[in-house]
Structure 1
Amino acid sequence: MKQLVTVITMATLAVGVAVASETLREKTSTGLGIAVDGSGRITELSGAGVNRLHPDEPGFLITIREYEKDGECWKVSGQTLVPKRMVPIVGARGKDKVWGIEFDNDAAVSVRIENRGRYLRLEIVEATSPVGIAVVNWGPYPTTLHDTVGRYLGVVRNKDFAIGALSLGIGTDGNDRAACFCDGEKPGGMLTLSTIDHTRPVRYNYGHFISAPAKEAGTVGGAIALWGVADPTKDRELDLVEEIVRAEGLPYPTIDGVWAKKSPRANESAFWVNYDDTSIDAWIKAARVTGIRVLSRYNCFGNWGHFEPDPVAFKAGWEGLKTCSDKARAHGIRTTAYTLSTFTRAFRLPEPFIAPKLDPRFNRYVDTTTTLTRALPGPEGVKTRDTFNYVFWADPPLPAGVADNEIRLAKNPKTFSLFVINAEIVDEKVKSLGNRPTPRRFLDIDGELVVYRTAATNDTEVVLGDCERGFYGSTIRAHPVGTRVTRLDGYDHYDSLMPGTDEMIGEVAVNIAAAAKRGGMGNIILDGVECADRSGNSNYSVNRFIRTIFDHLPKENVTFVGSRMTHYTWHIFTTQSWGEHDLKRGIRGSQLETRLQHQLDLRRNNYPNKLGQYYPDSCSLEDIDWIMAFAAGHDAGVDFQFGLPKTYEKCERIRLWEDARRAGAFTESEKRLMRQTDTLWELKREGGKFTLSFVRRWKGDRFEELPASAAPVKAFGAGTAVMPRSIDREWVHASGQCERWCITDDLTAGVSAKPVDFEVTSPVDNRKWAMTVPLFVMRVPENSSPVVNPVAHYCWGNRRSKIRIKTTLASGEYVTIPHRVSLATVYNARHELLREVDLEDIPRASF
């Protein structure tokens, strides 16, 4: 701190008042320009010679948040400090310029800024404060660009220019908000990334846990790249980002020598099946008939943590698993290491992190450490059961006496509630997947893993019941009164423990990579990867975990799929593919809105598209046609999870559509039509030529329709009106695969020189996790003047979203939002699709 202050003071004395007004100004060869004044405030953020800086949103080169003391720990201050002064540090010359930025509280940060020609590189070289700097925020960088936003990649766009911010290390991230829309009345798009210090212990998750400091994870060295592209397209943006990635040594996975982001093989469809050493040949045959090049076995390991082969599926162990992979590879098919990332437990094999003795690095509730008030006996007389031969969600009845063990703990008045369980807790969102058992909770009693299901209290004790000793094969030992007991952090419905340090999380990562290499598997699925942050170090831990796996595997022809993406892991993940079974809504409605929003997010972030898992065992060929046309419309692969087929009719139908998609047989206009979820299509192949034909529109029947009065609408502005409903479902273009829906009264817009605004209120629905979707149509009557950029105010519970529909509606045209995703569609009076319109964020689809 003293050195930086001294340098800044010397610079101030040397150049006097002129320093305060001195401006940083840089411009890249691609047309991106930035200017920052002597107070650290951005005065220009230009693209192609036009200032794109938002007029109402303040922008800064950096802002900071400091630490505050929190008992024996620390916490991040809720106050964001903006810079007071920014001066060039003496000796900075040429392309590399170091600027000192001063804040209140004697805090200061110095940033090196390098013009690399086609992008700008910014790096923190010093960060000091009497109490310590917890976060350095890059930006915010508010712009007027708002046509589309790539919230993972970190890019905001209009038709003529795009500006992006790219993290250059695992300690700098933007979560899923590296780019977002501005909140104000004037539309815009904003970029912001954060370099977070993780060198101090911080309480997190309501204060129940304390982070494990990562001494190497400070703010110094955090860096970003700022880039811009004129007339942006996916190819132009990826060309520049690829250049940055290679120049900065960022992860660069390839498929057949092509960067994975550009490879046509990046979103290949897959089979999710439980092949084993006796059925692998049959599954390879089915895959070849279908044209599938990826086989994913969704539970091939006998434990999670060390990831050893399931001894039932692969009787020869590693040799058997490797043989399956080698057989598949001989036919151009890659096999998959499916994992739940850092979730740790035993299945059919003991897990060395748990047995014979618990690893002390598992995450634990820090305020639950207490002691036994009644001694526990050793293994003699303690009834147990085999905890290796059941899977999550399936909890067979306990043998008599197994759960008779009772554990009594000293009651801590401040924290005893952390032991108490509501036995009725069931995740209602996923009831359709089958009833789950009462959640377990985990205890560490001097290295022995114990589970309990009920808890009660008296004046001096917490009494735990329905307990099992020696869980997952941990050694049962006698424990005297006074033995320390701690509740462990576990993921209830997967019966898994969570590693609590980055060191342990890194060991799990190395084990996953080693298992993939030893088993010959070239596709890595990291489900549940968001829980890799249980060290308390947020995205740093997630990024470090994924980067460790990447670094321990070949960089060629290994693909990565995860359940959640961060800004940094955009570099590593090949795509995202998520979507699960839904008995209520049928195969076509199965998590439809979630899948739709994912496709939009993937496209806006320049990712290859995937639709997630479908379960076609009991579906019809028409269902297959619907799924594959929907997938082709998004140029997306599909993951099929089903049993070994007895006939290949469905496989051959999938092959037909996959061959057409790979051959580029569909025009952009045809893809846009197939993206409409209420359409059915037929595909034929004759003499190597594909012919696509429209069959009909379809309407689901798994819903309750409410009257228009259930979703009241209001109109604002000249020329607008609400009229009694005169339309039916054909106008809405929604397939109706939801529980309840409501078509509102007519929203009409006529001649208006002012903005056209409507308000739509969602019906009240008190059922937990239920969705009641109000569907509305905004149309311009025949022989009326065009309406430009109409606005709908969407009220959903206590949320209110302003939806700007950025299009011009001509006479006779109408716009509808058929699904609760950020996309609208425009049709003419004959119900012919004219175009799609990207929207800003709206209340997102739920599970």
Structure 2
Amino acid sequence: MIKLSNLAQQGVQGRNILIFLLAWKCLSVSVFITLSAEVLKTDSMQVQIKAGHLHSLTSLPDEINYLPEGVEAPVLSLRVDGSFHSPSRMDWHTSDSEMHLFFDDTNIKAVVAYTAHNSHVSFELRSVEPTGKTDLAVWGPYPTTIKAIVGETVGVVRDQQYAIGIQSLNAKTLGGFPVKEDDVMPMYNIFDGSDYSDIALKFKDQQLYRGNTAEHKEYGSVIQAYCRDRSEQRTITNWGHPQYIAPPFEDGGLVGSRIALFGCPANQALKTIGIIEEQENLPHPEIDDVWAKISPDATASYLIVSFGEDEIDEAIKLTKSAGLRYLYHGGPFQTWGHFKLNPNQFPDNWRSMQRCVTKAKASGVRLGVHTLSNFIKPNDPYVAPSPDPRLAAIGASTLNASIDATQDQIPIEKPDFFQKKTTMNTVRIGEELIRYQAVSAEAPWFLTGCQRGAWGTKAKDHDRSEKVAKLMDHGYRVFLSNTELSLEIARNIADLFNQTKLAQISFDGLEGNWSTGMGQYGRTLFTKAWFDHLKPALRGSVINDASNPGHFNWHIYTRMNWGEPWYAGFRESQTLYRLKNQAYYSRNLMPRMLGWFQMNAKTSVEDAEWLLARAAGFDAGFALATNPKTVQQNGLGIQVIEKIHQWETARMRGAFPEALKPELQQIEKEFELEASEDGSWQLYPVFSFKQSHQHNEQPGMIAFSSYDFVNPHPEQALQFIIQSTGKSQAIDVTLEINSSITLDLRSSLKPGEILKYDGGPEIITYDASWHMLDKRAVNSQIMKIAQGPQSINLGYRFEGNEPALKLEIRTIGKPTHLVPSR
């Protein structure tokens, strides 16, 4: 804008411009020709815009410009005929709060409305003319010099002093840059490979990125968002299919796309997003009147128990024994789509679940359930007996001839969408589903090896030219939904919650909404439809997570909780993946979770405290899959549950000081926690020295292994755990300490059996499930070792093949006194 105070310094040219502006003012025209940068200010940021490009991104009050030199920073980029274009000039309309951007190389004009708030600047695309030429509008990309912390999902970049962020203000404005036509955001997925036990080695020293709303660059970073015109059908590559029909979707197109741009002190970034949510009417979920992103309950741990009406009392009792408030059913549904509950556990369907919720609430426990989002089981009414026409289709052809209800070869006009085999390999013709084995090798084209009336439908005659749609399915042997059906399924889930008052959900399989052909937009529409359909009393208070995140969904979900226990041991299954997820949560301003773990009959107290120390260190919750029967089968199961109670109570009450947390995060370190009668705790560091003892001597020979270690703690009785982990029993097990004391520990130790000494008057023998077999007295004085270097010898004889022992030496350090802070 030309400032009148500067005109006196501009000579004749300035006077001419002044006359020109005054003449325009007399004509009541509010157009200002931009000869200098226009300025938009918030409390903490100043944005200068010149010729439709950002000219500076300046922090206030310290006036540091975070815009890198020589890097283009368009307010808006448009894609026309496959190429992106940035503005060549701009008119600034103050009275309308608009900037008119001209793309001279394409003869396109875009009108962007602007508003400067205390917390942020908002931009809205009001028009693009002429219509029909532009298929993508990109906000930015906006470059910054910040590179320390890049929150790729939330769209915020930070260093120690300052944060700059972008927020999509409606669902159709997608976070990121459209690197693919399917709008599936780039992300790491542990299940893309064949080994699910942990992340691929090539990612060991890398961060696991999910999305590109913010992205690293050589000069720092960029933040970006975009909107796509979906008014016409497109053929895209989607989910492994080289041709996939993305149907048209009417949402107003590019017009109405909105973003917020903000800058603030780094420690105010999360608070600023919360303010933007409330000012811009974005989802702002609260748990017990506290914004979910800062509520301690957002990281609440929970038990996963397969309860029903008959088991709910025991499940509630177990949850309360563990000191937890959330109880979760991992798979209560007989069908997905309409979400009928398993009648064996919930004979009165949703009313049965409602009674369980009521009973749990009376005990201070909240219930949740696991879903697979828009996955549709073949036994659901959306499939049988009459398939819903809104089941997602990869594409379609037509019948090349009429067929009767018995034909097992189906003539089709074109084979394009049918040649890639899928799990269900199913087509829909009218109200019949048909499975087929293959497509003929050449024209005339046939679907061969057909099973008529598949999935509970009825075989029928069909006329020539009827539509033959190849249905989209998933490896879980389920069908998927188009956009309209996805929104209906989301509302079905909301109806379940509205009726039963369930308080927690995980949208597993949320990527199933890629079936809409709209990628992350499909996912967003699904979760938003669920959120919006909840009753006001529930909206926001239901803890929710999902199989994958998203930029707009960041405002809806409470947290994410990734990591599964099925693929290796308690401490080993996806451990590095879980740890890297903590860094992801931190840089994306999200509550932290450690994922799912499984307690079985062999889970040790030491394993439990290993997990609980990590939870305390990261202030991260976790899910524990177990049940009352399993706890009883574990001889120390009650102790495990009590440890969960102690640790999680201390964590949720803020007892672990920040200075201790880095140590608690380290997976090689062990700790023990003891509760005091006054409501405080003692946290003991544990030195743990682990070795495996395996030899190939002849049966009957004595095998020895010698180990040296340094005890970092004061003098005390040496503690140990010895387990027979081979296929044959160990005989005459001995432990020699510092070449002075030899203990004859056990005449025989069968596979799985355990010797444990905790520094007291007895050595106890357990079976593999921690049931005590026997105990023997020991003089704790002879077990004492000093601080410093130590040596031990472990020996045994064996019968049979493949003997092995696992040894753990433990010593305990001085405690730290912990008190609650909330």
Scaled by the length of structure 1, the TM-score of the pair is 0.69
Is 2:231 the counterpart of 1:219? Answer: no
Question: 1: distance between equivalents of 2:42 and 2:491?
Answer: 40
On the 8 A contact 2:412/2:447 being kept in 1, the answer is no
Is 2:641 the counterpart of 1:660? Answer: no
Match of 1:362 among 368, 382, 391: 391
Query: Given residue 201 of structure 1, which amino acid in structure 2 is its aligned partner?
Result: Q
Is 2:329 the counterpart of 1:297? Answer: yes
Greater alpha carbon shift after TM alignment, 669-678 vs 155-164 = 669-678
Q: Once the 2 structures are TM-superposed, how far is the Cα of residue 158 of structure 1 from its aligned partner? A: 1.1
Is 2:313 the counterpart of 1:281? Answer: yes
In the other structure, the counterpart of 1:464 is 448
On the 8 A contact 2:396/2:468 being kept in 1, the answer is no
Deviations 1:614-657 (A, max 9, x none): 11213222111111111211111101112332142221121121
Residue 609 of structure 2: SS of its match in structure 1? helix
User: Residues 292-691 of structure 1 correspond to what in structure 2 (within 5 A)?
Assistant: 292-346=324-378, 350-371=379-400, 375-377=404-406, 407-410=408-411, 415=416, 418-419=418-419, 421=421, 439-452=423-436, 457=441, 460-462=444-446, 464-465=448-449, 468-479=451-462, 484-491=467-474, 493-500=475-482, 502-553=483-534, 554-555=538-539, 557-583=541-567, 585-617=568-600, 618-644=602-628, 645-646=631-632, 647-687=637-677, 688-691=679-682
On the 8 A contact 2:152/2:215 being kept in 1, the answer is no
Deviations 1:776-800 (A, max 9, x none): xxxxxxxxxxxxxxxxxxxxxxxxx
Q: Once the 2 structures are TM-superposed, how far is the Cα of residue 124 of structure 1 from its aligned partner? A: 1.0
Q: Once the 2 structures are TM-superposed, how far is the Cα of residue 26 of structure 1 from its aligned partner? A: 1.7
Question: 2: distance between equivalents of 1:664 and 1:534?
Answer: 43
Residue 115 of structure 2: SS of its match in structure 1? strand
Deviations 1:764-814 (A, max 9, x none): xxxxxxxxxxxxxxxxxxxxxxxxxxxxxxxxxxxxxxxxxxxxxxxxxxx
- Provide structure 2 residue ranges, at least 5 long, that are not aligned to the other structure: 1-19, 177-209, 694-708, 710-822
In the other structure, the counterpart of 1:42 is 54
**1:701/1:207 Cα in 2 relative to 1: closer, same or farther (>3 Å)?**
farther
Match of 1:183 among 217, 236, 247: 217
User: Residues 634-783 of structure 1 correspond to what in structure 2 (within 5 A)?
Assistant: 634-644=618-628, 645-646=631-632, 647-687=637-677, 688-696=679-687
Question: 2: distance between equivalents of 1:283 and 1:630?
Answer: 25
Question: 1: distance between equivalents of 2:604 and 2:456?
Answer: 45
| Greater Rg by CA | 2
In the other structure, the counterpart of 1:266 is 298
Deviations 1:438-466 (A, max 9, x none): x332221332223345666466454533x
In the other structure, the counterpart of 2:795 is none
User: Residues 23-42 of structure 1 correspond to what in structure 2 (within 5 A)?
Assistant: 23-30=37-44, 32-38=45-51, 40-42=52-54
On the 8 A contact 1:156/1:163 being kept in 2, the answer is yes
Question: 2: distance between equivalents of 1:345 and 1:574?
Answer: 27
**1:632/1:101 Cα in 2 relative to 1: closer, same or farther (>3 Å)?**
farther
On the 8 A contact 2:545/2:560 being kept in 1, the answer is yes
Match of 2:78 among 43, 60, 64: 64
On the 8 A contact 2:513/2:522 being kept in 1, the answer is yes
Q: Once the 2 structures are TM-superposed, how far is the Cα of residue 58 of structure 1 from its aligned partner? A: 2.0
In the other structure, the counterpart of 2:190 is none
Q: Once the 2 structures are TM-superposed, how far is the Cα of residue 699 of structure 1 from its aligned partner? A: 6.8
Question: 2: distance between equivalents of 1:494 and 1:601?
Answer: 28
Query: Given residue 146 of structure 2, which amino acid in structure 1 is its aligned partner?
Result: L
Residue 393 of structure 2: SS of its match in structure 1? coil
Residue 304 of structure 1: SS of its match in structure 2? coil
**1:522/1:689 Cα in 2 relative to 1: closer, same or farther (>3 Å)?**
same
Query: Given residue 151 of structure 2, which amino acid in structure 1 is its aligned partner?
Result: G
RMSD: 2.9
On the 8 A contact 2:369/2:505 being kept in 1, the answer is yes
Is 2:154 the counterpart of 1:153? Answer: yes
Residue 386 of structure 2: SS of its match in structure 1? coil
Query: Given residue 382 of structure 2, which amino acid in structure 1 is its aligned partner?
Result: F
Question: 2: distance between equivalents of 1:155 and 1:292?
Answer: 33
On the 8 A contact 1:420/1:456 being kept in 2, the answer is no
Q: Once the 2 structures are TM-superposed, how far is the Cα of residue 475 of structure 1 from its aligned partner? A: 3.0
In the other structure, the counterpart of 1:747 is none
Residue 427 of structure 2: SS of its match in structure 1? strand
In the other structure, the counterpart of 1:775 is none
Question: 1: distance between equivalents of 2:448 and 2:22?
Answer: 67
Q: Once the 2 structures are TM-superposed, how far is the Cα of residue 173 of structure 1 from its aligned partner? A: 1.8
Question: 2: distance between equivalents of 1:460 and 1:97?
Answer: 59
Is 2:35 the counterpart of 1:21? Answer: yes
Query: Given residue 661 of structure 2, which amino acid in structure 1 is its aligned partner?
Result: K
On the 8 A contact 1:253/1:572 being kept in 2, the answer is yes
On the 8 A contact 2:173/2:258 being kept in 1, the answer is yes
Q: Once the 2 structures are TM-superposed, how far is the Cα of residue 160 of structure 1 from its aligned partner? A: 0.9
Question: 1: distance between equivalents of 2:643 and 2:67?
Answer: 51
Residue 345 of structure 1: SS of its match in structure 2? coil
**1:677/1:13 Cα in 2 relative to 1: closer, same or farther (>3 Å)?**
farther
Question: 1: distance between equivalents of 2:548 and 2:138?
Answer: 22
Q: Once the 2 structures are TM-superposed, how far is the Cα of residue 533 of structure 1 from its aligned partner? A: 3.3
Query: Given residue 175 of structure 2, which amino acid in structure 1 is its aligned partner?
Result: G
Match of 1:252 among 257, 274, 284: 284
Deviations 1:223-249 (A, max 9, x none): 11111112x22xx22222211111111
Question: 1: distance between equivalents of 2:577 and 2:67?
Answer: 33
Question: 2: distance between equivalents of 1:420 and 1:195?
Answer: 31
Q: Once the 2 structures are TM-superposed, how far is the Cα of residue 130 of structure 1 from its aligned partner? A: 5.4
In the other structure, the counterpart of 1:93 is 95
In the other structure, the counterpart of 1:122 is 123
Query: Given residue 660 of structure 2, which amino acid in structure 1 is its aligned partner?
Result: E
In the other structure, the counterpart of 2:134 is 133
- Provide structure 1 residue ranges, at least 5 long, that are not aligned to the other structure: 1-9, 69-76, 378-405, 423-438, 703-727, 729-847
In the other structure, the counterpart of 2:758 is none
**1:701/1:415 Cα in 2 relative to 1: closer, same or farther (>3 Å)?**
farther
Question: 2: distance between equivalents of 1:328 and 1:547?
Answer: 28
Q: Once the 2 structures are TM-superposed, how far is the Cα of residue 701 of structure 1 from its aligned partner? A: 8.1
Residue 343 of structure 1: SS of its match in structure 2? coil
Residue 575 of structure 1: SS of its match in structure 2? coil
In the other structure, the counterpart of 2:88 is 84
**1:589/1:509 Cα in 2 relative to 1: closer, same or farther (>3 Å)?**
same
Q: Once the 2 structures are TM-superposed, how far is the Cα of residue 288 of structure 1 from its aligned partner? A: 0.6
Question: 2: distance between equivalents of 1:686 and 1:536?
Answer: 57
User: Residues 163-182 of structure 1 correspond to what in structure 2 (within 5 A)?
Assistant: 163-174=164-175, 176-182=210-216
Residue 227 of structure 1: SS of its match in structure 2? strand
On the 8 A contact 2:563/2:578 being kept in 1, the answer is yes
On the 8 A contact 1:375/1:481 being kept in 2, the answer is no
Query: Given residue 305 of structure 1, which amino acid in structure 2 is its aligned partner?
Result: G
**1:637/1:139 Cα in 2 relative to 1: closer, same or farther (>3 Å)?**
same
On the 8 A contact 1:141/1:192 being kept in 2, the answer is yes
Scaled by the length of structure 2, the TM-score of the pair is 0.71
Is 2:82 the counterpart of 1:105? Answer: no
